[in-house]
Amino acid sequence: MENMITTKDLDLFYGAFQALKKINLEIPEHEITALIGPSGCGKSTFLKTLNRMNDLVAGVKITGEVLYRGQDIFAPEVDVTWLRKRIGMVFQKPNPFPMTIYDNIAYGPRLHGTHSKAELNDLVEKSLRGAALWDEVKDRLKKSALGLSGGQQQRMCIARALSVQPDVILMDEPTSALDPISTMKIEDLMSDLKEQYTVVIVTHNMQQAARISDKTAFFLLGEMIEFSDTERMFSMPRDKRTEDYITGRFG
């Protein structure tokens, strides 16, 4: 399998504080890669570096490389809006725009120049189907997205990310604000997603990483301690610190 994203000696500083230290990671295509680690270890920071959402933070300094399909994402010719279209993102708290469901999904395509009604309808349906939400909302597309349940909102956000036809979907603790039932639905959805997309997910929930991911990276204090097949990680981790963390012996 090809590597979708490769980072090389990635360092990231928030001002003087180094949040990421020499991260070398290869994220394979059509797999789910989970990032785990204790709070503050740099998971979210790493994730946000991949689609340059960290650009928004003042005082961030990045060295090293991030290659997306071999292209350095920090290269001057790369426009960040293009990058973010290719590498979508889903956040911890479901964040539907305060608009109708339809407009939420159509937001991205419109932004990128799709205005034909028919095309939009098509995209909206496709995206919602992709997020396993179509049947639940097809009769209320013109209702506010805020009226959906938390789990539905999160799936709608996934649909919204799909609407611009990305390659990669980054998810930062996408289920941590949801109840167990919604969580399970999203987890289930993810294994469908990986057939078409490459998924990178940050999760606090080790069981979740174990359940859904193909590869797992364990971060600690800004370092990537271990990166293995998930099965390997949760059965025979290479590093003592990984084992301590996943077995709850940490801290």
Ligand X SMILES: Nc1ncnc2c1ncn2[C@@H]1O[C@H](COP(=O)(O)OP(=O)(O)OP(=O)(O)O)[C@@H](O)[C@H]1O
Position 74 contacts another protein (CB under 8 A): yes
Cα dihedral 75, 77, 78, 81, rounded to 10, equals 140
d(CA 223, CA 56): 23
- Position among 9, 24, 40, 112 found at the interface with another protein (CB under 8 A): 112
Q: Which amino acid is at 191?
A: S
Position 217 contacts another protein (CB under 8 A): no
Piece in contact with a second copy (CB under 8 A), picked from 49-57, 82-90, 159-167, 201-209:
201-209
Position 44 contacts Mg ion (CB under 5 A): yes
Inter-CA distances, 5 with 86, 111, 116, 144, 207, Å: 12, 25, 33, 36, 25
- Position among 3, 29, 69, 78 found at the interface with another protein (CB under 8 A): 78
Closest approach, Cβ 85 to another protein, in A, equals 4
Candidates 200, 239, 161; CA nearest to 46 is 200
Position 1 contacts another protein (CB under 8 A): no
Q: How far apart are the first and last CA of the chain?
A: 37
Position 175 contacts Mg ion (CB under 5 A): no
Q: Which amino acid is at 138?
A: K
Q: Sketch the per residue contact string, 11 through 50, with another protein: x for CB under 8 A, - otherwise.
A: ----------------------------------------
